[in-house]
Structure 1
Amino acid sequence: MLRVRMFGRFEVWRGEFPIPESAWFTRRAKQLFKILLLARGKPVPSDQLLDWLWPHSDPQRAAITLRSTVHALRRALEPDRPPRASQYILSQPPGYAVARDAPLWVDVWAFEDLLEAAGRAVTPEERRTRLMEALALYRDDLLIEDPYAEWVLMERERLRERFVEAALDLAELLATAGMPEKAIPLCRRVLTLDEFREPAYRALMRYQIAAGDVAGALSTYERCRQVLIEAFGVEPSPPTRALYEALLRGELQPVRPAIPRPVQDLPIPDREMEKIFVGREAELERLREVFAGLPRGRGGVGILVGEPGAGKTRLAVEAIRQFAHDADVLYVRGLFIERTLPFSCLAEGLRRLLSQLPEDRRAELPVFALAQVARLIPSLHLLYPNLPAVPDTTPEENRHRLIDGFSNLIIALADQRPLVVFVDDLHWADEATLTVVGRLARRATRHSLALLLVHTPEEEPEGREVSHLLESLRREGIGRWVRVGRLPEEAIAQWLARWSGEPVESMKDLARRLYSLTDGNALFTAELLRAALATGEPVRRETLERYLEGPAAVSSLRGLITDRLARLPEGAREILEIAAVIGRAFPIRWLDLVGPPDPEPYLRILIERHFLQEDAEERLSFVHDVVRRVIYEAIPPVVRRRQHQRLAEALVALYGPYPGPYSAEIAYHFQRAGRFALPAMVRYAVEAGDHARHAYGFRQAVRHYDEALSAATVAGGEGLAEWIRRAYLGRGMA
């Protein structure tokens, strides 16, 4: 399959590799290919080719040279095929042609096909989408490296005219749909190509007026007038002057359309507690400054640091609700079990956000960045079926291109609408995601982009990649640091008062007792209140006092969670143990493989009692990772190993022998299943290393290969020779 780009500079890709300049043999071979492509399957007479390519040569000599040039072209396109058997270049009287059925994609052909599809579209939405796809292909004028070639001049003008007409058509469709601000850049691009196109000035003025930029519309008129007077000595036409004069008389007023709701992918809070937020006024005030410049295109970085259970995530959600309620939110959560998968948490968050974006916004995103990111988010091909092939270069260059792809795509989203990138549990994020976060942090102040980074230093794994990132940001003066400490007694008293509806003064003694138990840890305090709620009594001060005086009240968070766990039905406890072993959000259908029969009644109990939560994609996760860890550590070791074994086998059955991104997860569970499962662990650790290497996570790949080799040594190596060989080979390549 060949992919050819003719808009801008001429490029030909064979599969994922560009055809190098040296492969063309002669410059005329490339020129010949361009001419035949512009004919789009129609034969170009040999006499015409001779006139264009060798205008001053003897006709007989030129004819011989043409035949050798055709031979060189065929060799360049298909070096492994006999020249006379070319599937691309045909000898077709009276000359030569590109085969119509050849495996060939050409941007000029696709551009015109999309414009034709737009003309046949039934709905305005479909027409907008096709036009957006077409205009995205027009990188620059046709074959800009051949500015004066006779055979390209007329075609360049024709395609430029088609682009201009399509751009103005799309601009009108966007304005009609209530998006004049998106129509304005299209008009400006048209005027860069043709500064004398007066209808484009009028359209730009109308869209600026609709967007509320009256001063911009007046400036556009003055520019139009100046250009026409300097070039032709004439004033703007009557329709343009009439629009200007109506604007001066105040007859044209901006009509602001309804603003679409933002896409906010936020963690679901506790329904009982979400309206109660106390004791964080100073922290919120510091975070306000991170979001203050978003409407003006200037973002910032907020870094929330605190112990487990301090309430960092809740604070971040509240800050977004108060200061960025009109912004989109990209929620990225680092997970312990996925920390060795390159770009894993970032790719998952971006997949969810893009799937919720309106179609017109998706169509405006940069195609090449989408194509880069789609290598790790295959589902994007369902949203963008015509993404171009991504050229393959050196592994290190490919890795940098992926980082650029993620960074540029997120910046493009922020340029569409203010965007908050909320990275929860930053300490578990993979190295590649951290690299992208660093790039975004350094660019945030130049875009409508805010980053909220939630970090728990006590849980940071070996390697200290997160510390290195945060230390570099601190040295560069980037970010507003917010230490999230423990709640004071006064805040707990306010919490109790709002929760019960009683005066704050009457709650101070109770708050003091609660503080003595929890030491102000927000999660522990919330768990105690939930435990009191679970008694079924009315929410009053007396209820809380009786609970704290009774035997159910415990003096540690671990004990409290264990006590709540003991009050659950057996089937619900089994689901919690399975969820704790899984270690991350997981599809509900996984329970059909490893859960109890008919899990639905137990799931309802676990969600109602605030152990688990369900997201919009029907995935389950713990309300807090501390709760998961307490439950996991309470499982007897022999049961825990058996659960890991069952889960690993279920994932193998579900995702097949080559599970790609799930390889690391399967290897992890086989490793935790005990020594007898190490041979299986070796295989999937090697698969995980291969997957990480192909995703350009070289350090993570080496880690997987080393784990495979270490496990093979412990297992004795019997029957593992092939996997050991692959581990060494992959490690060397990484």
Structure 2
Amino acid sequence: MRIAYRQQFTRCGKQRCRKCKEGEGHGPYWYAYWNENGRTKTRYIGVHLPPDLEPAQQHLTGEEEKAAHYLLARATPAPVLRVYLLGQFYVEYKCGNEWCRVDPQLWQHRRASPILGCLLSSANRRLSKDQVMKLLWPDLDRDIAANRLNGAVHELRHILEPGITRPGSSRLLRLEGDTLELADSSQIWVDAEAFEQLLHEANVTTDAGEAEHLLEEADALYKSSYLLEELYSEWASQRRDVLQQKWAEMLLALANLRVEREALVEAITTLDRLRFSDPVNETALQRLMVLLTLQHRRGEALRIYRQHASTLKREYECEPLPETRTLYNELRQGRIPPEYLARTGKTPTAGHLSLSQGLPAPLGGQARQEALFVRPALQLDRHHQHPLIGRQQELEGMRHILQAVSSPSEAKQPHFLLLTGEAGIGKTRLVEELSIEAYTRG
């Protein structure tokens, strides 16, 4: 079997993408093309051609070169329509070198758009008439439902192909026997399918930089949930849930790639987006807590856990997962579990971590537990290495306030403690002792 390898540019479909609008698109990327049972097949290879294929590619004969160009031309036809289902629903058609949006008023009757959505949500974009009627009008009499279906199909054909004179000869929406079939991706580009294709390409590539770029393109396509106009339609819910899950997994993978190149702030932003969309996603919560701690924002990490626990108790009458509770307790004690450090590519001997730099011993001579990391705002050279003498009454009052602040019911309330006194009477030493206790408690 003869396989041709060629480079080509791809288009992400974003309206504001300058690479697609003003240039050739994204890439070039290598693709393989071959004929199988009379049909042209294609497969994504990557940014670089594997070394073992380069010599064969460089020594193609003239006939093979022409065959490769022929396969490439057949395998990459330009679509005539673009359908956007992730977020606001709209359709664009090719108008010269520009893409023009179909007039939104044409969809106002709400007969054509559900059929288009049903077909795009089904396997191979095919459904029988009976399936469509059962999905869209399950409670109507069959004759009435069939009449509505015929009218909706006629209307959809005129929207997709405005100049068509014989709707029955439509190239984009065909009726074969008793089955409705929508044209494939070579003629109708769909953002949800392009999103899944980008995820697949990111999954098969071994280049981390390329994978991150592909995931960013996929993220740009996923503007919101699938077919929001059909939010309460059962036929759209399964497809919506699948895409939502893939989007969540994509954000976790994107955050991991950004951690690998030590872009922790970008990874935190990515996880924040996921938690905003899915507040009960504890995988995202755990990773976010660790990254915040590594960024010297441990107080914020502990606070979002408390907020999460409060939300679960209030909304779902349950508690966080045991591993999340364990992570919280470890962070409170100043330790990051090794398994979480391994996921971030950090080691306990990294520059901003410490195994032995600790805090002075507390009152009573008890040894204070060593912390894995040290809060940077704490100036260790100012700490006294002997117990605090006196000020017991003031310290106890401040401890009561600290205890109140630590309770879940008060976690969201702002608190302010003002300590005043004459210069040189020990205000700084007293505040340092309270700060050390707060640090130890988490």
TM-score where L is the length of structure 2:
0.55
Q: Which has the higher strand share?
A: 2
- Taking structure 1 as reference, are residues 146 and 209 closer, same or farther at Cα in structure 2, changes over 3 Å only? same
Does the alignment pair 1:17 with 2:100?
Answer: yes
Does the alignment pair 1:203 with 2:287?
Answer: yes
Question: Number of matched residues?
Answer: 258
Q: 1:241 and 1:47 mapped to 2: Cα distance?
A: 51
How big is the shift at 1:141?
0.8
Write out aligned runs for 1:464-475 (5 A).
Answer: none
How big is the shift at 1:96?
0.8
- Taking structure 1 as reference, are residues 61 and 244 closer, same or farther at Cα in structure 2, changes over 3 Å only? closer
The residue that corresponds to 2:132 in the other structure is 49
Does the alignment pair 1:220 with 2:304?
Answer: yes
SS at the partner of 1:67? Answer: helix
Q: 1:25 and 1:207 mapped to 2: Cα distance?
A: 47
How big is the shift at 1:94?
4.3
Match of 1:73 among 128, 131, 156: 156
Which letter maps to 2:274?
V
How big is the shift at 1:242?
2.3
How big is the shift at 1:228?
2.1
Match of 1:240 among 318, 324, 331: 324
The residue that corresponds to 1:558 in the other structure is none
- Taking structure 1 as reference, are residues 167 and 25 closer, same or farther at Cα in structure 2, changes over 3 Å only? closer
Write out aligned runs for 1:513-552 (5 A).
Answer: none
How big is the shift at 1:210?
2.4
SS at the partner of 1:12? Answer: strand
Match of 2:111 among 13, 23, 28: 28
SS at the partner of 2:140? Answer: coil
Q: 2:185 and 2:286 mapped to 1: Cα distance?
A: 44
The residue that corresponds to 1:473 in the other structure is none
1:259-280 Cα offsets, whole Å, 9 max, x none, are: xxxxxxxxxxxxxxxxxxxxxx
Q: 2:130 and 2:137 mapped to 1: Cα distance?
A: 10
How big is the shift at 1:40?
5.3
How big is the shift at 1:30?
1.4
The answer to whether the 8 Å contact 1:28/1:69 transfers is yes
- Taking structure 1 as reference, are residues 34 and 248 closer, same or farther at Cα in structure 2, changes over 3 Å only? same
The residue that corresponds to 1:169 in the other structure is 253
The residue that corresponds to 2:176 in the other structure is 92
Write out aligned runs for 1:555-570 (5 A).
Answer: none
How big is the shift at 1:245?
2.2
SS at the partner of 1:145? Answer: helix
Match of 2:141 among 49, 58, 83: 58
How big is the shift at 1:249?
2.1
How big is the shift at 1:32?
0.7
How big is the shift at 1:93?
4.6
Write out aligned runs for 1:440-459 (5 A).
Answer: none
Which letter maps to 2:194?
A
The answer to whether the 8 Å contact 1:87/1:102 transfers is no
Which letter maps to 1:196?
V
Which letter maps to 2:314?
E
Unaligned runs of 5+ in 1: 259-734
SS at the partner of 1:3? Answer: strand
1:459-507 Cα offsets, whole Å, 9 max, x none, are: xxxxxxxxxxxxxxxxxxxxxxxxxxxxxxxxxxxxxxxxxxxxxxxxx
Q: 1:130 and 1:207 mapped to 2: Cα distance?
A: 23
Q: 1:92 and 1:178 mapped to 2: Cα distance?
A: 55
The residue that corresponds to 2:333 in the other structure is 249
How big is the shift at 1:137?
0.8
Which letter maps to 1:60?
D
RMSD: 2.4
1:680-723 Cα offsets, whole Å, 9 max, x none, are: xxxxxxxxxxxxxxxxxxxxxxxxxxxxxxxxxxxxxxxxxxxx
Look at both structures and tell me which one has the larger radius of gyration over its CA atoms: 1
How big is the shift at 1:150?
1.5
TM-score where L is the length of structure 1:
0.34
Which letter maps to 1:6?
L
Which letter maps to 1:158?
V
SS at the partner of 2:229? Answer: coil
The residue that corresponds to 2:223 in the other structure is 139
1:344-398 Cα offsets, whole Å, 9 max, x none, are: xxxxxxxxxxxxxxxxxxxxxxxxxxxxxxxxxxxxxxxxxxxxxxxxxxxxxxx
1:307-357 Cα offsets, whole Å, 9 max, x none, are: xxxxxxxxxxxxxxxxxxxxxxxxxxxxxxxxxxxxxxxxxxxxxxxxxxx
Give the percent of matched residue pairs that are identical in Structure 1 and Structure 2: 31
Does the alignment pair 1:5 with 2:84?
Answer: yes
Which letter maps to 1:56?
D
- Taking structure 1 as reference, are residues 25 and 205 closer, same or farther at Cα in structure 2, changes over 3 Å only? closer
- Taking structure 1 as reference, are residues 102 and 28 closer, same or farther at Cα in structure 2, changes over 3 Å only? farther
Q: Which has the higher helix share?
A: 1
Q: 1:105 and 1:205 mapped to 2: Cα distance?
A: 39
1:599-630 Cα offsets, whole Å, 9 max, x none, are: xxxxxxxxxxxxxxxxxxxxxxxxxxxxxxxx
The residue that corresponds to 1:191 in the other structure is 275
Does the alignment pair 1:150 with 2:234?
Answer: yes
- Taking structure 1 as reference, are residues 101 and 236 closer, same or farther at Cα in structure 2, changes over 3 Å only? closer
1:425-477 Cα offsets, whole Å, 9 max, x none, are: xxxxxxxxxxxxxxxxxxxxxxxxxxxxxxxxxxxxxxxxxxxxxxxxxxxxx
The answer to whether the 8 Å contact 1:7/1:108 transfers is yes
Q: 1:206 and 1:181 mapped to 2: Cα distance?
A: 12
Write out aligned runs for 1:698-709 (5 A).
Answer: none
1:176-232 Cα offsets, whole Å, 9 max, x none, are: 220111111221222222222211110111121222322221112112211222234
Does the alignment pair 1:128 with 2:207?
Answer: no
Higher mean C-alpha displacement, 6-15 vs 123-132: 123-132
Unaligned runs of 5+ in 2: 1-79, 352-442
The residue that corresponds to 1:658 in the other structure is none
Q: 2:90 and 2:320 mapped to 1: Cα distance?
A: 41
Which letter maps to 2:251?
A
Q: 2:295 and 2:287 mapped to 1: Cα distance?
A: 12
The answer to whether the 8 Å contact 2:90/2:104 transfers is no
Q: 1:18 and 1:174 mapped to 2: Cα distance?
A: 36
Write out aligned runs for 1:121-520 (5 A).
Answer: 121-252=205-336
The answer to whether the 8 Å contact 2:212/2:257 transfers is yes
1:223-256 Cα offsets, whole Å, 9 max, x none, are: 2211222234333223212222222222249979
